């Protein structure tokens, strides 16, 4: 009977809205987990940078600062994605509300742009594609064009010089200004450093592996 109703009248709008909102919440939880993991990596990296600063191990501190720079870039992307998800949810629910009042559904180019952008995230790719299919069924989105993804601006690229400046700022921030200037000393200049501690080396390897897993 339910299948016959759907064949005659189409999908139930309330059911469609519940399913779309469920997929949005699922994506939100995924982003929250990723952000919590990155926060843990960030805190651990800061601790290791301070330890390197105490040993005057400039080279290790700079390597760690670069890792922290990438962590913060990833955090920025994920926070932007959370804002985009919230925007999709708001526009989607407004469209469903208009349909309930007017009895017709109008596609939204704004939703389409946000969804296309979010599909590019490896963390959300599968569930966002499922959400896009539901939004197309509901008439909120038109069918996506394959090359639309390639046309989106990629704001993640950053010049090496600018990245180095960010790394210097991170070192100055975490070391209280102690490593801000001396961190630019060439790697070939010898510095006094204590023998590496095995536990710290293990922590460094663990942090690198966790970061790679988050970025893959």
Instruction: Render pLDDT for 128-163 as a digit per residue (tens, 0 to 9).
Output: 888 888 888 877 777 654 444 444 444 445 566 677
- Quote the mean pLDDT of the chain: 75
Q: Which residue has the higher pLDDT, 13 or 121?
A: 121
Instruction: Say if domain 2-211 classifies as CATH 1.20.1260.
Output: yes
Query: Over pLDDT 90: what percentage of the chain?
Result: 27
Instruction: Render pLDDT for 165-195 as a digit per residue (tens, 0 to 9).
Output: 888 889 888 877 777 554 444 444 343 444 4
Query: For residues 61 and 52, is the Cβ–Cβ distance under 8 A?
Result: yes
Please say if the pLDDT value at position 122 is more than 60: yes
Short-list 30, 21, 40, 34, CA closest to 88: 21
Short-list 90, 95, 87, 101, CA closest to 140: 95
Query: Over pLDDT 70: what percentage of the chain?
Result: 64
d(CA 159, CA 136): 38
């Amino acid at each position: 009977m339910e299948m016959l109703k759907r064949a005659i009248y189409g999908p139930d709008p309330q059911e469609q809205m519940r399913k779309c909102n469920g997929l949005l919440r699922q994506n939100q939880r995924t982003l929250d987990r990723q952000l919590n993991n990155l926060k843990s990596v960030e805190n651990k990296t800061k601790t290791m940078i301070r330890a390197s600063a105490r040993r005057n191990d400039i080279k290790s501190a700079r390597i760690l600062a670069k890792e922290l720079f990438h962590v913060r870039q990833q955090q920025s992307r994920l926070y932007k994605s959370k804002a985009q998800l919230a925007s999709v949810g708001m526009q989607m629910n407004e469209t469903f509300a208009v349909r309930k009042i007017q009895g017709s559904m109008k596609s939204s180019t704004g939703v389409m742009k946000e969804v296309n952008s979010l599909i590019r995230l490896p963390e959300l790719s599968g569930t966002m594609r499922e959400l896009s299919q539901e939004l197309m069924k509901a008439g909120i989105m038109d069918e996506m064009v394959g090359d639309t993804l390639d046309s989106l601006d990629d704001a993640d690229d950053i010049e090496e010089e600018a990245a180095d400046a960010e790394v210097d700022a991170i070192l100055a921030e975490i070391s209280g200004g102690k490593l801000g200037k001396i961190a630019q000393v060439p790697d070939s200049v010898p510095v006094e450093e204590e023998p590496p501690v095995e536990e710290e080396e293990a922590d460094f390897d663990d942090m690198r592996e966790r970061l790679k897993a988050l970025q893959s």
